[in-house]
Copies of this chain bind each other. A is one copy, B any other.
Amino acid sequence: MNSLIVGSIAFDAIETPFGKTDKIIGGAGSYICFSASYFVKPQAIAVVGYDFPQAFIQKLHNKGVDTEGLQISKDEKTFFWSGRYFDNMNQRETLVTELNVMEHFTPIVPESYKNTEYVMLGNLSPVIQRQVLEQMNHKPKFVALDTMNFWMDIMLDELKKTISMVDIIIINDEEAYQLTGERCVPKAARIICAMGPQYVIIKKGEHGAMLFSKDNVFIAPALPLENVVDPTGAGDTFAGAFIGYIAQKDKTDFETMKTAVIMASAMASFTVEKMGTEALENISMSELEKRVSTFKELVSFSF
């Protein structure tokens, strides 16, 4: 199975208490594609500028990513974001945002992507997310959506319209609170389910993640990591592994989704151990499986 992924491919410059990068390759789309590539052939939809290095496109190819849907602008520069994390690594401030090519981005879904059954709508304007869905030949089997507070602030109605069209929403706890006005995570999940999605994943950072359907709950722990070097892209990595695993199995039942949440958590735990996409690019399947076993051991008890 393939998996269609829309998300920004961009330049990032990151500063954390443990390191600082120059302009490196980032953006939700990059993390999602790398992460999903461990399970399926990702089909990327994104836009970059004339200044984007061919070497990175080659890197995506090497990981099996299909870049037919990658637009390269001749006039504009690549989207650039720069941010700095504070000591506790849970909060960050944006230092620079240069939209560049993202300012007028209209996604174009290539013919070869239009029957893809598993779609990940990375964090982008809900209008752009919907434009992707509207170009598909038929409703995909399973559509996942990521979003952020920013879109709730400036285009909540558009966001709600897009949310009503997807099967699962993957957001963090603060975003769930803002979207629902409810600070109790299970209650927030129930409210989001009533907006349309059958499933909701609420990520809680160091406290793990929770998967909800109307009748079921699953709790994934977070690995007790002592050396988080750079949280950038952890959520996108999670989303990529999640959609990739589901697409690989071609199953959307709750059991499969539970394992997908663990795969996603395990993959994200690698991302935060190094700056940028570095760790994510170089994971072996056996390392990943070993980490998934660790998740199992962490919560197992006799009774």
- In the bound assembly, the distance between CA atoms of A289 and B224 in angstroms comes to 28
Contacting pair A183 B88 (CB below 8 A): yes
**Shortest beta-carbon distance, A200 to chain B, in Å?**
12
A184 CB-CB contact with B under 8 Å: yes
Give A256-268 as 1s and 0s: 1 = Cβ < 8 Å from B's Cβ atoms: 0011011000000
Measured between C-beta atoms, what is the minimum distance from A253 to chain B in Å?
11
CA–CA, A210 and B292, complex, Å: 18
Minimum C-beta distance from A208 to chain B (A): 8
Task: Report which of B206, B208, B259, B303 forms a contact with A303, defined as CB distance below 8 A.
Answer: B259
Q: Would you call A187 an interface residue if the criterion is a C-beta within 8 Å of the partner chain's C-beta atoms?
A: yes
- How many A residues touch the partner, as a band? 20 to 34
A184 to B229, CA, bound (A): 13
Q: How far is the CA of A204 from the CA of B298 in the complex (A)?
A: 16
State how many angstroms separate the Cβ of A189 from the closest Cβ of chain B: 8
Once the chains bind, are B255 and A302 in contact (CB under 8 Å)? yes
The residue on B at minimum CB distance from A257 is: B301
A226 at the B interface (CB under 8 A): yes
For A221, the chain B residues whose CB sits under 8 A away are 208, 219, 221, 299
Q: Indicate whether A303 sits within 8 Å of B298 (C-beta atoms), given known contacts A219-B221, A224-B186.
A: no
Among residues 197 to 218 in chain A, which have CB atoms less than 8 Å away from a CB atom of chain B? 204, 206-208, 210, 217-218
Q: How far is the CA of A292 from the CA of B301 in the complex (A)?
A: 10
Q: Which residues of B contact A258 (CB under 8 A)?
A: 300-302
Q: In the complex the two chains form, is B185's CB within 8 Å of A259's CB?
A: no
In the complex, whether A225 has a CB less than 8 A from a CB of chain B is yes
Is the beta-carbon distance between A298 and B217 smaller than 8 angstroms?
A: yes
A257 smallest CB distance to B (angstroms): 9
CA distance A35 to B25 in the complex (A): 54
A23 within 8 A of B: no
Q: Given known contacts A217-B298, A219-B298, A296-B303, is B210 in contact with A185 (CB within 8 Å)?
A: no
Ordered by A's residue number, 24 sampled pairs between the chains whose C-beta atoms are within 8 Å are: A184-B206, A185-B206, A185-B224, A186-B225, A187-B226, A208-B219, A210-B224, A217-B224, A218-B301, A219-B298, A219-B299, A220-B301, A221-B299, A258-B301, A258-B302, A259-B301, A259-B302, A261-B301, A262-B303, A292-B303, A293-B303, A296-B301, A296-B303, A299-B299
Chain A to chain B: the 9 pairs with minimum beta-carbon distance, closest first:
A207-B207, A219-B221, A186-B224, A299-B299, A258-B301, A219-B298, A259-B301, A186-B226, A217-B224
